[in-house]
Amino acid sequence: MDKDKILKQLNETNKNTMMETMGITYTEFTGDRLSAEMEVGPKVHQPYGLLHGGASAALAETVGSFLSALQYDFKTHGAVGTNLNIYHLNSVREGKITATAKFIRKGNQIHVIEIEIYDANNSQISRAILTTKIIEKSRKFGI
């Protein structure tokens, strides 16, 4: 498994998506972990100038779903989030944040994933638990 090639492919999938708009970049893949970074600034702020909780949730679900999907052949299977619980623990106004997803349970069709988001000072910003379902790609789902 060429991890650099996988990261490059993941980053290419961001083109023309919400992930590109938010500036999400995948940075590390170990097989059972996936990390991504995002710059915090006005495009992901809520009105008080803080990181929007929805942006944290989108980052968490993105990283967790792709970790699930990477366990299968990308050409034939994908992963979709079915449940996301997220705890916002600290606020951040600017700088880079990093989300790391790892498995809690890896079943054949259902995965449970923990995602932790930290800022550049190693303060935990959010903690999420995501459940994903593995799907076969088809025209029916539009993917």
Residues annotated as catalytic (active site), given as ranges: 61
- Encoded tokens for 130: 């995501």
What is the full DSSP assignment across 17-79?
SHHHHHT-EEEEE-SSEEEEEEEESGGGB-TTSSB-HHHHHHHHHHHHHHHHHTTS-TTTEEE
Angle, alpha carbons 111-116-120 (nearest 5°): 150
Beta bridge partners of 114: 102, 129
Q: φ and ψ at 91, to 5 degrees?
A: -100, 160
